[in-house]
Amino acid sequence: MINPVAPRIRRAGRVPWLPAMAAAVLAWLLLAGGAARAHPMLQNPLWIEITPRHLTIKLQVSVRELCVVQGVPITLDGTVDEAQAEDAAPRHSPYLLDHFDLRADGNPLTGKVLGIDPPPVIKQGGEGSDNSHFTYRLEYSLPSPPPARFTLSHTMVKEFPSSPGVPWDLSYAFRCGTPGNPMKNWGVLPRDTSISFLPDGSMADAAVAGAGKEDSLPPAQAGLMALWAALGLNAASRRDALRLSGLAVVAFAMGCTGSVQGGIQAPAFVLAALAGAGVMLTAVDGIHRPGAPADVRRFILTGLFSLSAGVGAGVWAQAVQAGTGTGISSAVVSFALPAAVVFVLTAAVMLRLGKSLSPGGLRAVRQLLSLACAVTGLLVLFHGLGIRPWDHWLTRVAGKSA
């Protein structure tokens, strides 16, 4: 007698998560990997130290940069002759001074190279030239009376393409302060983006927002809107929508109040990176479990990343509304209100579609839109970390249209 095999029973409402997760991971790899291949990236450390009479910049320059800018030969297997690299290092000094733009109260400063320290050994192999660095020390004399504000930007290796039409993307992980407090301010300085800081090293104006221009959309704001959109897409019921939105608003308000009134600060790139990571995690959870009832995982994602977005909103508002005392109201109007509208609209549309679409169709719509939110989160994360491969292509498109 043949025993029948019991058919596998799938619980109602459960969806196959592997294809959805694979799609999200594939989108990540395609975007990240494609950007990395088409847009070679370098990031070096940079230290800024301010005294009443001088501003000193200590930075590392990779051997790869000497190969690109000074023409130091490099073999196909990544081998670089140490003597040739050491000979090229002093020739690179004028290039560094020409491609740093340091200003005091808007007036350009002239610097000089105090010294160059070679690496203990130049590593060989595919990434050896990327991981071997010469350390340069630059000094800028300050005028009297001491400046009230400094601005720094750079255009390193912009004119040297890694392949036709594709320039190198070089950024600096900087820290800024005084001899007594060298970590007063820290973040990422991409090319063609300026940072502003005060004589004590603290952030100033748009540097706090990390937005480049005060009228531009901060990455944390875009991240908050995408985060609440991802939550609204997967609200299982009106009750869940109310619970999630209530938690999100409370967490956002706590972060914003703590930033504006409690002095909680964080580097702009950290806040933007948290926003991007929050969007991606929430969106992937929505792809995995579209329309699932809210649980502890979803509440943690909602609270944690809404809190960090609140801190980012407070930091941004203090920069844009410096001295006006309207930081919290500006953050609410600029951040929370648009994001709340996005949440309400997406939740209402999804709950409405639930009455007209089949369960499978509704799941597909939620997963597709959640995937779009995940890609948005990835872009916000890249932007926060100073990795902006799309800038080059947008500039080319704008140039052609002009």
pLDDT in 10s for each residue of the chain, 402 residues = 455 544 444 444 444 444 444 444 444 444 444 444 334 567 788 999 999 999 999 999 999 999 999 999 988 888 899 999 999 999 999 999 999 999 999 999 999 999 999 999 888 877 788 889 999 999 999 998 889 999 999 999 888 877 665 667 788 888 899 998 887 887 778 887 888 899 998 877 544 333 333 334 456 667 777 877 888 888 888 888 888 888 888 888 888 787 767 666 565 666 677 777 888 888 888 888 888 888 888 888 888 888 877 777 776 665 554 444 445 666 666 677 777 888 888 888 888 888 888 888 888 888 898 888 888 888 877 776 666 666 656 666 665 555
CA–CA gap between residue 62 and residue 111 (Å, rounded): 21
> Which tokens belong to 219?
């990455």
Q: Is the Cα torsion angle 318, 320, 323, 327 positive or negative in sign? A: negative
Residue 281: per-residue pLDDT: 85
Q: Is the pTM of this model over 0.75?
A: no
Residue 149: per-residue pLDDT: 92
CA–CA gap between residue 178 and residue 200 (Å, rounded): 6
Residue 325: per-residue pLDDT: 45
Beta-carbon neighbour count of residue 196 at 10 Å? 18
Mutual orientation of helices 268-288 and 296-320 as an angle, nearest 10°? 150
Residue 307: per-residue pLDDT: 82
Domain boundaries along the sequence of the chain:
41-204, 215-390
User: What does DSSP say about strands 111-117 and 107-108: parallel, antiparallel, or unpaired?
Assistant: unpaired
CA–CA gap between residue 41 and residue 291 (Å, rounded): 39
The CATH-assigned architecture of domain 215-390 is: Up-down Bundle (1.20)
